[in-house]
Amino acid sequence: MTKTDPTQPIRNVDDLIASLDAAVAASDDSARCKQVMETLIHAFSEENDILSEAMCATSEEGYARRLLYRHPHGAYSVVVMVWGAGQGTPLHDHAGTWCVECVCQGSIKVTNFRRDANRDSEAGILDFSEQQSQMAGVGEAGKLIPPFEYHILENPGTETAVTLHVYGGEILRCNTFEEAEGGGYKLHKRELAYTP
């Protein structure tokens, strides 16, 4: 198993990608996510200038989602998300793909959910129960490994927040879940795009 070297400084995107290449070479998703988390915490334990100003710009359309890197063989992708004041996601999944997320600037609220199996999902209505909600600041990271992959991310503060997401592939679609009249959550399939 290849292990990341926490003594090597990560000064720029090339250093970050080299460290992530080593981290994702782990033998299973649990070890892979652990090593990716270690890499991101090492890289972003303090606010720094690894990410360009353009990559960290907010969008008036909603939170910004920008592709930083796509592995040439599809092993993983790196996406930067920028959250203006009050911006956030609906409850969503990660299309069955592992993910590690780290706060690079500001702070973000993360609310994790568990999917409950007490409703007939054929009607497109699902039940979820909130598991945990917490604020994460610079250098804090978390992971989602299916089937634990449901959450909401939001910036409840007044300052811009920036997060970096490493996915086990490129996620171009996911499911979102909107509270339904009468209870439960209505499933919606969503195509994902990158912000210019």
3-56, pLDDT tens digit by residue? Answer: 455 567 899 999 999 999 999 999 899 999 999 999 999 999 987 889 999 999
Is 29 a domain residue?
A: no
Which pTM value belongs to this model? 0.93
Mean pLDDT estimate for the chain: 93
Mean pLDDT score, 110-124: 82
For 58, the token pair is: 């907010």
**CATH code for position 156:** 2.60.120.10
pLDDT for res 8: 78
Torsions phi, psi for 77 (to 5 deg): -135, 160
Is 14 a domain residue?
A: no
Residues 47/105, Cβ–Cβ less than 8 Å: yes
Distance (Å, whole) CA 42 – CA 109? 21
Is 75 a domain residue?
A: yes
Model pLDDT for residues 124-155, shown as the tens digit of each residue: 789 999 999 999 999 999 999 999 999 999 99
pLDDT for res 3: 47
Distance (Å, whole) CA 3 – CA 159? 35
Model pLDDT for residues 91-100, shown as the tens digit of each residue: 999 999 999 9
Q: At residue 106, does pLDDT exceed 70?
A: yes
Is 122 a domain residue?
A: yes
Torsions phi, psi for 32 (to 5 deg): -60, -50
pLDDT > 70 in the chain, percent: 94
pLDDT for res 7: 63
Q: At residue 119, does pLDDT exceed 90?
A: no
Q: At residue 2, does pLDDT exceed 50?
A: no
Domain count, the chain: 1
Q: 168 lies in which domain range?
A: 55-191
Distance (Å, whole) CA 126 – CA 180? 9
Mean pLDDT score, 58-67: 96
From residue 147, alpha-carbon distances to 26, 89, 94, 163 in Å are 20, 19, 10, 22
pLDDT for res 120: 64
